[in-house]
Amino acid sequence: MPVLNYSVNQLPPLLDFIERRRAWTSQGRNLGRQTFQEILVQPGLDPEANCFLLEENGDLQGFCMVTPEIPIGRAVVELEVAPRLEGAPGARELVRRAVERARELGARVAHMCLPHPSPTTELLAEEGFTLVRTYWDMVWRQRELASAELPTGFAVRPYHNGDAPVVTQVQNDAFEGSWGFCPNTVEQIEYRSGMANTSHQGILLLSEDDRAAGYCWTCLVPVENGTKGIIGMIGVVPDYRGRGISRPILLEGMKYLRSIDVTEIALQVDGSNAPAIGLYTSVGFEKAGESQWFGRELP
């Protein structure tokens, strides 16, 4: 099976392949296809150099994307193949091509996230990857939303045009030093704020006397029975930690998602981050599964 570099003329069959793999229904089909297309052309990705396709008799059977995060010395690999090829030689060749590309980009490590369990786990082990992190998949399906009051002097508002520099600074300050976090640029935040899977109303800024203190970024993903709301990122800048504002900004994000009638609300959290897990369980999130991050050093 040949592995080819992506080219723009292969976009239609690639979108069809991704749609089949993710089982989108008619309700979420347009959202899923548009979001995936926007991810392909996000700033800094260069899909013609960093995306690879696996073909069999002219039909697309697999896809691999390498997202460079060179400021922290890593590249993130995303892999999707037809079910019958999971763990097969074609999938192995995609992984090897991705590792080769990550090394060319100057990354010191390649990371890949898989649902647990996954038939691809054994393949990654054979290719030199080891388990480095376990994340919890958590969902909220309750009827009533908890309540929480903001401390005096704090206010929440949605994202406005021109807010990209503020959100960039808040996000980078809130997650500096966190495992797997690569600092974002203003260009990246500006681009993502306009993608199909998000809304300015769903990006919430928390401030005290006009000084940014934290934020909650929500987004949408299509699922088999409709659209699922995601708490994508929630962060509080270091100077404001311990002041009881994480719970209110989280609930504001959940309140927005409920207002647009999603089937459920979900998020992912590092399984070793006990304070974050405590926050999420306190408002009704429950563990629904796990995802595992694997890494391979690139000498």
CA dist., res. 287 & res. 203, Å (int):
24
Give tens-digit pLDDT for 192-230.
Answer: 999 999 999 999 999 999 899 999 999 999 987 789 999
Predicted local distance difference test score (pLDDT) of residue 261: 84
Domain boundaries in the chain?
3-135, 143-283
Summary mean pLDDT of the chain: 95
Helices and strands counted in the chain (H then E): 9, 12
Spatial contact of 126 and 143, defined as CB atoms under 8 Å apart: no
In eight-state DSSP terms, residue 254 is: H
Multiple choice CATH, 143-283, 3.40.630.30, 3.30.1490.20, 3.30.720.110, 3.40.1000.10: 3.40.630.30
- Of all residues in the chain, what percent carry a pLDDT higher than 90? 90
One-letter amino acid at 121 equals T
* In the predicted structure, residue 1 carries a pLDDT above the cut 90: no
pTM of the model: 0.95
41-46: average pLDDT: 95
Predicted local distance difference test score (pLDDT) of residue 147: 87
One-letter amino acid at 191 equals Y
Fold match between domain 3-135 and domain 143-283:
yes
Q: H or E stretch including 67?
A: strand 59-69
State the residue for tokens 């981050």: 273
Predicted local distance difference test score (pLDDT) of residue 105: 98
Q: H or E stretch including 228?
A: strand 226-236
Confidence tier at 299 by pLDDT (50, 70, 90): confident
Predicted local distance difference test score (pLDDT) of residue 210: 86
Spatial contact of 111 and 68, defined as CB atoms under 8 Å apart: no
65-94: average pLDDT: 95
Residue that wins the pLDDT comparison between 261 and 216: 216
Predicted local distance difference test score (pLDDT) of residue 4: 94
Bridging pattern class, strands 226-236 and 74-81: unpaired
Q: What's domain 3-135's superfamily in CATH?
A: Gcn5-related N-acetyltransferase (GNAT) (3.40.630.30)
Give tens-digit pLDDT for 104-160.
Answer: 999 999 999 999 999 999 999 999 999 999 999 999 999 899 988 899 999 999 999
